[in-house]
Amino acid sequence: MEQSQIQNHNLEKKRRRVLNKPLRLRCSVQNYNWGILGNKSHVARLFSLNSGSHIDPDESYAELWIGTHESGPSFVDDQFGCLNSLKEWISKNPDVLGDQVLKKWGGELPFLFKVLSIKKALSIQAHPDKELARALHKSQPSLYKDDNHKPELALALTEFEALCGFISLKDLRNVLFTVPEIIELVGGADAEQWLPVNEMDKNHELEAVLESIFSQILLSSKDKICQSLSKLEMETEFGEEASHTKRQLTDKEKLVLRLEGQYPADAGLIAAFLLNYVKLNRGEALCIGANEPHAYIYGECIECMATSDNVVRAGLTSKHRDIQTLLSMLKRRQGFPEILQGLSLNQYTTRYLPPFEEFEVDRCILPEAASVVFPSVPGAISIAVHKWEWHNWCKCTRRTNG
């Protein structure tokens, strides 16, 4: 064998040894103002461990990104002292993705993995499906930075609060009767005129009711929103001028008044009454599909999604609002969303299987001195490790239908 062939052979053997070992990634952090400050943020502590950087006690640490998206790329520490972008490294070593991933997505990592630390509510938003994502990216590339959809799974690391999907007909009826400010805001005389009369047609009518009320709320002026909130406060136990007819606050009303301190006079405060208020315990997960209205409110979570950063916002935000686009794209499915408890793989590991083909998530809580073998998967794996008091490991894997 010639000398050049021997060298190439040795380089290939070395490359294979590297590929067969976990590679350390240098990850990106996002310091959005809704993040948790300083050392109290799991994102801050993870990023500090990952990068060796100092934690600024006055800085918000909102998201840690692990993936190839250009808005927050990860870099590979190749053990030879060089840092290459994960996207570039995968393009040079595409076989790490596995045959099934390569066949379906080419040389692209199909998922983006994040850790979120939320102190202040995120916007009421939805993520476009693939068709709409392509159209939005083409027409407004500076706002919608890619052409992919963004189905996602949020796995709670702490107690976690969110708004997700539209409330049921039963809950809508209750809201319209107990929060008359909504009817006043949309110009109705009373709640009855908004509710379906014919039981046979109630689902179809409910969609129309939700669409009309939700859209009118989001398009209302700040003055009208302020008036509605003032009336709501006066009718509750927190109202300074509350009369003897004052009543106790519901959980949703407490939430709305709490959020008012974060987003004064925001139309999203009233719109929140039409969305399900979800509370996750640690270890529970929530799936959010394309075109589904939602907002993360408070807590810390692992979030995994298809590789995209497309967000259409309409409330609870100071950022750009694309209300008409959001109203045109929304799924109007009613009812409380499914809460995933996960499937036990062994005494330490739980698997969460969303109805999306890009990924699945394994969560492993490993005591000191214990060991575990993860099941093999036909794709790429991203692992975040942090030694919290419950020794929480999370793994995000690409799932195929094969």
Task: Return the H-helix or E-strand segment holding 194.
Answer: none
Q: Per residue in 178-206, pLDDT tens?
A: 888 888 888 765 556 666 555 555 666 66
d(CA 72, CA 51): 14
Least confident of 23-27, 265-269, 354-358: 23-27
Does 126 have pLDDT greater than 50?
yes
Residue 48 has pLDDT above 90, yes or no: yes
Per-residue pLDDT of 239-287, as tens digits, reads: 444 445 566 788 999 999 999 999 999 999 999 999 999 999 999 999 9
Question: What whole-number percentage of the chain has pLDDT above 90?
Answer: 54
Calpha distance 320→140 (Å, rounded): 12
Task: Show the CA angle centred on residue 241, arms to residues 238 and 243, nearest 5°.
Answer: 90
SS3 295: strand
pLDDT, position 79:
66
Query: Which whole number is the average pLDDT over 332-356?
Result: 91
Residue 22 — pLDDT band, cuts 50, 70, 90? Answer: confident
Structure tokens at 130: 């693939």
* H or E element at residue 77: strand 75-77
Distant-in-sequence contacts of 87-91, Cβ < 8 A, 24+ apart: 90/380
User: How does pLDDT run across 154-178, given as a tens digit for each residue?
Assistant: 999 999 999 999 998 888 888 888 8
**Res 88 pLDDT > 80:** yes
Average pLDDT over residues 37-48: 96
Instruction: List, for residues 90-99, the tens digit of each pLDDT value.
Output: 898 888 888 8
Q: State the pLDDT at residue 389.
A: 35
On whether the CB atoms of residues 246 and 239 are closer than 8 A, the answer is yes
Mean pLDDT value of segment 40-46: 95
Q: Confidence band (pLDDT; 50, 70, 90) for 15? A: low
Predicted pLDDT of residue 176? 85
Exactly one of 313, 321, 351, 399 is catalytic; name it. Answer: 313
Q: Please tell me which residue, 339 or 95, carries the higher pLDDT value.
A: 339
Handedness of CA 242, 246, 252, 255 (dihedral sign): positive
333 flagged as catalytic? no
- Name the region of 387 (left: φ>0; alpha: ψ -120 to 50; beta: rest): beta
For residue 106, pLDDT over 80 is answered with yes
**pTM for the full model?**
0.87
Q: Other CB atoms closer than 10 Å to residue 11's CB: what's the count? A: 10
Say if residue 396's pLDDT is above 70. Answer: no
Report the chain's mean pLDDT, rounded to a whole number.
84
